[in-house]
């Protein structure tokens, strides 16, 4: 019995010493978050930028509460949003984005957005003098309750819709070989043609679960190891990035030293 009490006390002490028992809820990597309402906030003029949620984001039993700030990854669509004159600091936006998970933190890779204005106020009207008119029933007249609701709804900015040229700045890569290394304190994917020209310059890797798995494999060995990857390339302020969606290690059986 004394041994059981000792183990229980040791376990309670371990929980207290390691901090809170409940971690922040995390969404799974690759989740497509649809129609998420929020407001863009930034720590400085140069970022990073966050979406402060105005509603919950749910994925099965995981619920990220309203008010949570989720960091937006640099990408072409984020650049369009930040340059949109109609999206002001006090303006809400509705976004569609891929959820990324890296080292216990969620990120959002923006795919699309719509800017929303503040609710439109109904203009005040002067009182109309009483006029006796014959009774008339208009069966097509819109009820006052629906008129009031329509007047208060948010307005969608058509100009905020992405253009075709914007969408084409993202390029999908499939089954490309290479390895991940560190350059200037950034994780970079180096394309490898196995003796031939790979045709692409090294590109910075955005935080994601695939990158974390690559780092785990390389930390266990003497890498860098080669991987076959699939992902999406994008640009932000002239800087190219790649958002990895899959990474599989390639075994060369010693023919190419990897």
Confidence of residue 256 (pLDDT cuts 50, 70, 90): low
Q: What is the pTM of this model?
A: 0.70
Return the CATH number at 233: 2.40.50
In sequence order, the 6+-apart residues with CB closer than 8 A to the CB of 132 are: none
CA distance 108 to 72: 5
Last residue of a domain, one of 135, 165, 195: 165
pLDDT digits (tens, 9 = 90+) for 179-215: 999 999 999 999 886 655 455 789 999 999 999 999 9
Domain that residue 42 falls in? 24-118+158-165
Which stretch of 11-15, 191-195, 212-216, 228-232 has the lowest confidence by average pLDDT?
Answer: 11-15
State the total domains in the chain: 2
| Whether the Cβ atoms of residue 227 and residue 190 lie closer than 8 Å to each other | no
Same structural domain for residues 181 and 114? no
Which residue from 120, 119, 114 is spatially nearest to 40, judged by alpha carbons? 114
């Amino acid at each position: 019995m004394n041994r059981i009490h000792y183990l229980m006390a040791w376990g309670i002490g371990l929980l207290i010493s390691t901090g809170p028992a409940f971690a922040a809820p995390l969404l799974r990597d690759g989740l497509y978050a649809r129609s998420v309402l929020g407001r863009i906030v930034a720590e400085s003029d140069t970022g990073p930028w966050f979406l402060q949620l105005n509603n919950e984001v749910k994925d099965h039993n995981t619920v990220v509460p309203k008010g949570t700030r989720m960091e937006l990854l640099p990408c072409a669509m984020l650049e369009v949003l930040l340059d949109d004159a109609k999206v002001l600091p006090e303006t809400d936006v509705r976004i569609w984005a891929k959820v990324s998970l890296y080292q216990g933190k969620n990120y959002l890779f923006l795919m699309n957005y719509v800017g929303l204005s503040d609710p439109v106020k109904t203009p005040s009207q002067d009182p109309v003098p009483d006029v006796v008119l014959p009774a008339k029933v208009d069966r097509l007249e819109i009820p006052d309750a629906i008129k009031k609701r329509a007047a208060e709804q948010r307005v969608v900015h058509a100009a905020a819709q992405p253009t075709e040229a914007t969408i084409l700045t993202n390029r999908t890569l499939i089954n490309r070989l290479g390895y991940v290394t560190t350059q200037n304190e950034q994780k970079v994917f180096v394309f490898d043609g196995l003796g031939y020209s790979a045709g692409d310059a090294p590109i910075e890797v955005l935080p994601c679960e695939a990158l974390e798995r690559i780092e785990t494999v390389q930390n266990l060995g003497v890498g860098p190891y080669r991987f076959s990857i699939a992902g999406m390339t994008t640009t932000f302020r002239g800087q190219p990035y790649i958002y990895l969606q899959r990474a599989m290690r390639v075994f060369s059986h010693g023919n190419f030293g990897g």
